[in-house]
Amino acid sequence: MAGVSFEKKRPRQPVGSAATVSVRVSGAGRASVDGASVVPAPGEEIQQAVLNHLQRLAISVGAPIRATVHDDLAGCVVPLEVSADGSSRVTGQAVRVAPRPAAAGTPGTGQAPTGQFGPAPVMNESDTDTRSPAAHSPLAAVPPEPSAPTPTPARGFDAVAEEVLGDGPLTETAEGAELLTEPLRRINEAVRSGCIDTAAELADRTLAEASAVFGPRHAEALHLRELSAYIAYLAGDPVRAFRLSLDVAGLRRQARDGEAAYDNVRSAATAWRAVRDPEEGLRLGRDLIDLWTDLAAEPGPAADDTGPLESARARMVRLSDRAAKAAAQA
């Protein structure tokens, strides 16, 4: 969530007015959205459970969800916007409020935030405790910078979402336009309408056809794999979204397209953050970090933007701890 620009690469089509909800995050892994309880899955952080809930709302209404997040532990209120693709951004300054008193039986004690309130979207947030006190809310992440001299392009699934919702060219090449324009239009329309299963079927069929005609390494085939990965992520299949994204990243790195490869690495990282099982997260994380490290050693955006890679490495440490605890309890 933090440090990622939401500047548009292509004009975005209107998709309806943003809905507004109220979120409260309290101690002991409890949260509510407009008074309805949000229950995390086993091993899932409460922040991620809330974000998943808000993403489902965004998909159902076809518009971003604007949430006013009351974080009782950190003592602040944060304005947040969550899109249907799972990306989120802080839309204003966090406001300090008086924290609620500690629960009876634990006088004088506080509970540390359990993690940053970032999507399984974006990974620029810091995983260390070197932040300023104002940034220690798991909901605040890093506040928006007052001014950005040069806009940062959208990365990963954010960029794919903008293409799906935009009105720019649908194909990557002239030779692909005749074959793929109509199928891509139908895929994008299905995503906009919230018909994710239909979009997934269309994307798989179109990918197979494009690969047969142009070859699996052709720009159109790679673009369709990106789109299929994004749709798999929306459909709640983060493992497939991860594998598709990482495969495309590897192919683009081999083609010496570091810019596009980094976009796909960021998509893979977003999908990886949505994987709940710590053992599987560790297996996928090793593949992700191996490729990411190689990419960061070469000139390009991955080398210039090392914060997300460090955040991924820090998550691997947390996953190792969770896996060890789960094994001890088995």
- Written as one string, the DSSP assignment of 113-152 is --S----SS---S--SS-S-GGG-STTT-SPPPS--SSPP
pLDDT digits (tens, 9 = 90+) for 232-246: 999 999 999 999 999
Residue 142: Cβ within 10 Å count? 19
Domain span at 267: 156-329
Q: What is the pLDDT of residue 11?
A: 37
pLDDT at 223 over 60: yes
* Of the candidates 80, 75, 69, the residue with the CA atom closest to the CA atom of residue 113: 75
- Put simply, whether the predicted model's pTM sits higher than 0.85 gets the answer no
Query: What distance in Å separates the CA atoms of residue 131 and residue 185, rounded to the nearest whole number?
Result: 44
Asked if the structure places residue 276 within a domain, the reply is yes
Indicate if the pLDDT at residue 201 is higher than 50: yes
Residue 143 domain flag: no
- What is residue 289's predicted lDDT score, i.e. its pLDDT? 96
Q: Over pLDDT 70: what percentage of the chain?
A: 75
Average of per-residue pLDDT values in the chain: 79
90, β-bridge pairs: 80
Report how far residue 91's alpha carbon sits from residue 82's, in angstroms, rounded to the nearest whole number.
10
Task: Give the pLDDT score at 117.
Answer: 44
Report if residue 13 sits inside a domain. Answer: no
- Does 180 share its domain with 321? yes
Residues 322 and 208 in one domain: yes
In a domain, 304, yes or no: yes
Q: Which residues contact 177 (CB under 8 A, 6 or more apart)?
A: 169, 170, 171
Give the pLDDT mean for 42-56: 79
Domain count of the fold of the chain = 2
What is the model's pLDDT at position 125? 42
Pick the more confident residue, 98 or 279. 279
For 80, the token pair is: 């947040």
